[in-house]
Amino acid sequence: MHPGRRQALEETKLTLKTDVLIVGAGPVGLTLAIDLGKRGIDCMLIESKEAPQFLPKMERANARTMEMYRRIGLADKIRAAGLRGDCPMDVYVALSLKEPPLLRLRYPSVDEAKADCRVTNDGSSPLEPYQLISQYSLEPLLKSVAETLPSVRVRYGNELTGFEQDADGVSATITRGGESQNVRATYMVGCDGGASFVRRQLGIKLRGEGGLMELRQALFYCPDLFERLPHGNGPGRGRHYHIADDKATFLIMQDSTKHWTLHAVVGSDEEMKAQFEKAVGFPVEYEMLSCAPWRQNLLLADRYRDRRVFLAGDAAHLVIPTGGLGMNTGVGDAFDLSWKLAATLQGWGGAKLLDSYEHERRQVGERNIGASRYASIGRRKWRSMYRPNIRDNTLEGRQTREILARTADVEQRKTNEMIGAEMGYRYVDSPIIMDIPGGPEHLFREYVPTTWPGARLPHVWLDDGTALQDRIPEGYTLLVLGGSRADVAGLQQAFQSLQAPFTVLNMPDQVAREIYGFDLILLRPDMHVVWRGQQPPEDPALVAKVATGR
């Protein structure tokens, strides 16, 4: 018998063991598995589906998400798999794709955004701009990366059918083809979506506003549409096309430029074809690949943790896609939880480290639900300006078009301009941050760079042209800025005594010191600020204990 076959048969009889069992192989679960795997943590990722599905879901990784993917070496691969860099990201409000747009909101292509990031050095710019990539492109890419990591086992076609916890771990039952197998994990993470089996088994409720609107979403293959978009009369090339009608029709270009997603309030799947043709406005060859109803929700889990089981992504929070904060919030969950699980399993993380996951990420989930609500209300406001006479060549018809366009010029921007929510989130009152009272306001649409404890370290270019973020190693990092000669041996010894990874990084570059405003800044592994000061802390041991969750 082949050795691999013998091992597989033996595994079916035995209880499999792993440090972390991850349930659900969407972008959140795959990202968590990759980051844990790169940290050398043994983990198993299970997914009930047999393979990634070609279905329309998320279609944009935002700036903060791309910065995090850069940290694990995936930003360039994601860009290569996504929309090509020269494509405009403009957003239109129109009557159809063949008619002059009522409104055009201009947004830079990825190439233009990268060029702008390269010449901006005041801390206000991300290191990585956004990237349009469809979920059906991102998932196979992440899967291929996860499968190369020695400490990660990826198992599609395996469904979680039950689990129990005790003081030392989680005992789970996974089923494939009617046969069950036991898995023993130290921790388990439910990344299994809005209908999460893990969350329901834990008895954790989602609360908020459910079923706000029901639409249908369809994916169309239309290979010629992008090339045939009228440059003169029609809206031209862009990313989003909002059709001003009474059905909330919304056409989205996917990363191949040959696939298009349509959202609309119609009565049947068949009606979506007619709605697509009406939105386009001129004859094109197309095929509808999928169609399904979906509901808009603004829901947050009561808890993100039950002892040794955690929730992440849509299992913990459901937002309306306005603002693009769904998958991106989930990826933030994954990167936050990953380093805390790794620290705990490696022995240098204290009990409060894992406690901080719910404290920090639930407040981000709540804020992003608020941002999604804010954007959604804005979109509903301009859509409420629609009147049946919108196409009429009369004074009233022209007034309807003008009022709708003028309102959309204000309100639609709330959906497309969310840089504050993306990069400006700050962990407040966290048990693992040396927090101080006050702090800058949380803004949805504006990002103001800050090194206030809890905030993401702003991106800065150094004198040699490299990015400071790229110079920051794994573990905790103490930035010594502007040529400061402060004695930081106390902090170094405090972290070493806890066996926590710690690096002192001298950065004499004046621009970094000017932007950050302090001589000393202590960062945690996710580049959020733990502490800052002009002199070393009076009690370095306390700072080290707080930072490591002790």
Instruction: Give 202-236 pLDDT, tens digit per residue.
Output: 999 999 999 999 999 999 999 999 999 876 667 88
Q: Check pLDDT > 80 for residue 1.
A: no
Give the tokens for residue 366: 């709540």
| Superfamily of segment(s) 3-55+133-208+299-372 | FAD/NAD(P)-binding domain (3.50.50.60)
**What is the rounded distance in angstroms from the CA atom of residue 222 to the CA atom of residue 498?**
58
Which position has the token pair 């204290």? 350
- The torsion region of residue 51 among left (phi > 0), alpha (psi -120 to 50) and beta comes to beta
DSSP H helices in 347-454: 351-383, 395-411, 413-416, 419-423
Instruction: Give 328-364 pLDDT, tens digit per residue.
Output: 999 999 999 999 999 999 999 999 999 999 999 999 9
Give the tokens for residue 64: 């903060």
Q: Calculate what percentage of the chain has a pLDDT beyond 70.
A: 97
The neighbour count for residue 9, using CB atoms within 10 Å, is 11
CATH 3.40.50.300 assigned to domain 84-125+213-295+384-420? The reply is no
User: Coil, strand, or helix at residue 13?
Assistant: helix
**What is the rounded distance in angstroms from the CA atom of residue 357 to the CA atom of residue 333?**
8
Strands 170-176 and 103-105: unpaired
User: Coil, strand, or helix at residue 214?
Assistant: strand
Assign 158 a pLDDT band (cuts: 50, 70, 90): very high
- Does residue 190 or residue 3 have the better pLDDT? 190
Q: Calculate what percentage of the chain has a pLDDT beyond 90.
A: 94
- How far from the centroid of its chain's Cα atoms is residue 12's Cα? 35
Which long-range CB contacts under 8 A does 277-281 form with residues at least 24 apart? 278/96, 278/243, 278/249, 279/96, 279/97, 279/241, 279/243, 279/249, 279/251, 280/96, 280/97, 280/98, 280/222, 280/225, 280/251, 281/95, 281/96, 281/97, 281/98, 281/99, 281/234
Q: What is the pLDDT of residue 131?
A: 97
Q: Check pLDDT > 50 for residue 176.
A: yes
Average pLDDT, the chain: 95
DSSP H helices in 44-120: 63-71, 75-81, 110-119
**What is the rounded distance in angstroms from the CA atom of residue 271 to the CA atom of residue 266?**
6
- The answer to whether the predicted template modeling score (pTM) of the entire model surpasses 0.85 is yes
Please state the rounded mean pLDDT for residues 296-316. 98
Least confident interval from 10-24, 62-76, 175-189, 444-458: 10-24
**What is the rounded distance in angstroms from the CA atom of residue 477 to the CA atom of residue 509?**
17
Phi, psi of 186, deg, nearest 5: -70, -40
**What is the rounded distance in angstroms from the CA atom of residue 391 to the CA atom of residue 398?**
8
Assign 88 a pLDDT band (cuts: 50, 70, 90): very high
Instruction: Give 113-155 pLDDT, tens digit per residue.
Output: 999 999 999 999 999 999 999 999 999 999 999 999 999 999 9
Domain regions of the chain by residue span: 3-55+133-208+299-372, 84-125+213-295+384-420, 424-547
CATH class of 424-547: alpha beta
Q: What is the pLDDT of residue 231?
A: 65
Assign 6 a pLDDT band (cuts: 50, 70, 90): very low
